[in-house]
Chains A and B, each alone.
Chain A
């Protein structure tokens, strides 16, 4: 059974304090690893897709990396508007399996 574990569950940062979120996974036949951002009461917003170990993607202050067992989402010099829950999901076949998410709070 596919498993996705995200850590930590919650992360409180000061504005400008860089940090990383972890997504570890076990899946048979990884077809893609996805990162989403979700604001309270809203649907997830797509951020990145990573396909193979060693791949990296960047968008503004976010950078996602992938190894054979885990992915990291690095947040560089975060701002209060980066506060959200970040979800990781892995795809095997047509199905996505999601982790429970990491809730990031950035204080000004």
Chain B
């Protein structure tokens, strides 16, 4: 089955620690995205990548980093510089052919700072 997988489902981080969230897709999509979801707020874009080896900052990129070495993979690192990292993180992907492209989401990773 085609889809997007995220791991782990739950992640706990200690103060000052970097953690990496995994996102893999087998939909053959060119574009991938990372969002953060907080209670009572809309999803906010962290980073996005339209093609391998290229990515752009979204609205809230400070304290996060990404890489896009393979089409299928778009890992997100939450660094110690991110002051309030506790949130639900969502990865999405979309095709880039044409002007209108639905984004399909993974199941999410819930990150908690201890």
Contacts and interface: CB of A to CB of B under 8 A. Distances in A.
Given A34-B102, A49-B102, A94-B50, A42 B43 contact: no
Given A31-B99, A95-B48, A100 B42 contact: yes
Q: Give the size range of B's interface with the partner.
A: 20 to 34
The A interface, classified by DSSP as helix, strand, loop or mixed, is: strand
Contacts of A100: 40-42
Given A43-B105, A43-B106, 14 more contacts: A31-B100, A34-B102, A42-B108, A43-B6, A43-B107, A44-B43, A46-B102, A91-B100, A94-B48, A95-B58, A96-B43, A96-B103, A99-B42, A100-B40
Interface of B: 4, 6, 31, 33, 35, 40-45, 48, 50, 58, 90, 99-100, 102-108, 110
Nearest to A4: B42
Interface of A: 4, 31-32, 34, 36, 41-46, 49, 51, 87, 89, 91, 94-101
Nearest to A100: B42
A94 B105 CA distance: 15
Contacts of A42: 107-108
